[in-house]
Amino acid sequence: MDQTGKIGIFDSGIGGVTVLKEIIKILPYEDYVYYSDSKNNPYGDKTNEEVQKICDNIVKYLIEQDCKIIVIACNTASTKAVEFLRKKYTKMTFVAIEPAYKMVHDYSYENPTLVMATKGTIESEKFNLLLKKYDNHKTYVLPCVGLADIIEQGDRKQIKQYLNDNIGIYKNKVKNVVLGCTHYPLIQKEIEEVLGKVEFFNGASSLAKHLKEILKQKKLLRFPGISNTLNVQSTLNIEFKDSQGIEEKEKRFYSLLQK
Ligand code: DGL
């Protein structure tokens, strides 16, 4: 493993683009492979064993693509599979996203909070430990069954309907919203249409800083001496792979990346 290796990143679809966007802002000189596992989407309702098996195959693929580090850009996969992966691939470093609930504790403790995530994330031991540790005692936890799937399909009408039906009751009740699934930052506007102005908490930018720090520590950072403020568009090298090979996904991915 050396500096020239790629950064591998995966999610159960294109939602992880919200994480990649934060990463490329501060690591524009790296090469990336993004794996969108639309074939197995959604992960939220699968058992731990199923998600571990799926992630195992993705990791094998990313290692074959010469990845020097792997980012799990899916909260559900992080909660269900990161420990399994770390045990199995001891030479690989995994950086995993988690719901930004600690940020609420640090920056907006007083305010009522809604945590939105998949059922899998919310039921996981990892998330419950996080909740217990940073509880502000004004938190509603909402398993958004099926929401990641609708976002993945990109059907705006269905998304609006889902939000009206499921989060409408929190209008005027919450000021903070934790986006505990990497698909959800894609619908911030629609969430605010239902809840009104709220503050969003998303773990992607902290993950990006953490990733850069780890690459530095492990001497895996490409061009460590160069500042990171170059024009990102002209330098990026991002390969996209979808597990079903859907061309439309690729188009949506690149268009979201540029927004
Ligand atoms: N983006 C994934 C997450 O962060 C979606 C999970 C799913 O496929 O259900 O949890």
181 is catalytic: yes
Cα 213–215–221 angle (5° rounding)?
115
**pTM of the full predicted structure?**
0.95
Q: Could you please report the per-residue DSSP string of 94-114? A: EEE---THHHHHHH-TTS-EE
Best of 76, 202, 243 to mutate for ligand 1, by most ligand atoms within 8 A of CB?
Answer: 76
Position 195 in a domain: yes
Cα→Cα distances 174→140, 183, 198, 219, 256, Å: 9, 21, 7, 43, 28
* Amino acid found at 227: S
| Residue range(s) defining the domain that contains residue 148 | 101-201
Considering the domain architecture, whether residues 230 and 197 belong to the same structural domain is answered as no
Point out the domain boundary residue: 181, 201, 221.
Answer: 201
The number of the ligand 1 atom at minimal distance from the alpha carbon of 45 is 9
| 233 — pLDDT class (breaks 50, 70, 90) | very low
SS3 209: helix
Q: Quick one: pLDDT at residue 232? A: 45
74 is catalytic: yes
Q: Quick one: pLDDT at residue 116? A: 98
Rounded to the nearest integer, the mean pLDDT of the chain is 94
Residue 36 near ligand 1, beta carbon < 6 Å: no
Are residues 95 and 41 in contact, defined by beta-carbon separation less than 8 angstroms?
Answer: no
Considering the domain architecture, whether residues 235 and 194 belong to the same structural domain is answered as no
Q: Quick one: pLDDT at residue 2? A: 87
Q: Kindly give the distance from the C-alpha atom of residue 227 to the centroid of ligand 1, in angstroms, as a whole number.
A: 33
Residue 41 near ligand 1, beta carbon < 6 Å: yes
Are residues 119 and 145 in contact, defined by beta-carbon separation less than 8 angstroms?
Answer: yes
Domain of residue 211, CATH code = 3.40.50.1860
Position 43 in a domain: yes
pLDDT above 80 (res 230): no
Position 228 in a domain: yes
Model confidence pLDDT, tens digit, residues 166-199: 999 999 999 999 999 999 999 999 999 999 999 9
pLDDT above 80 (res 12): yes
Position 1 in a domain: no
How many domains does the chain fold into? 2
Considering the domain architecture, whether residues 212 and 188 belong to the same structural domain is answered as no
Tell which residue, 89, 63, 88, 84, has the closest CA to residue 10: 63
Q: Quick one: pLDDT at residue 227? A: 57
Considering the domain architecture, whether residues 180 and 59 belong to the same structural domain is answered as no
In this structure, which residue's CA is closest to atom 9 in ligand 1? 44
pLDDT above 90 (res 45): no
Residue 99 near ligand 1, beta carbon < 6 Å: no
202 against 230, higher pLDDT = 202
Model confidence pLDDT, tens digit, residues 121-164: 999 999 999 999 999 999 999 999 999 999 999 999 999 999 99
Q: Quick one: pLDDT at residue 259? A: 84
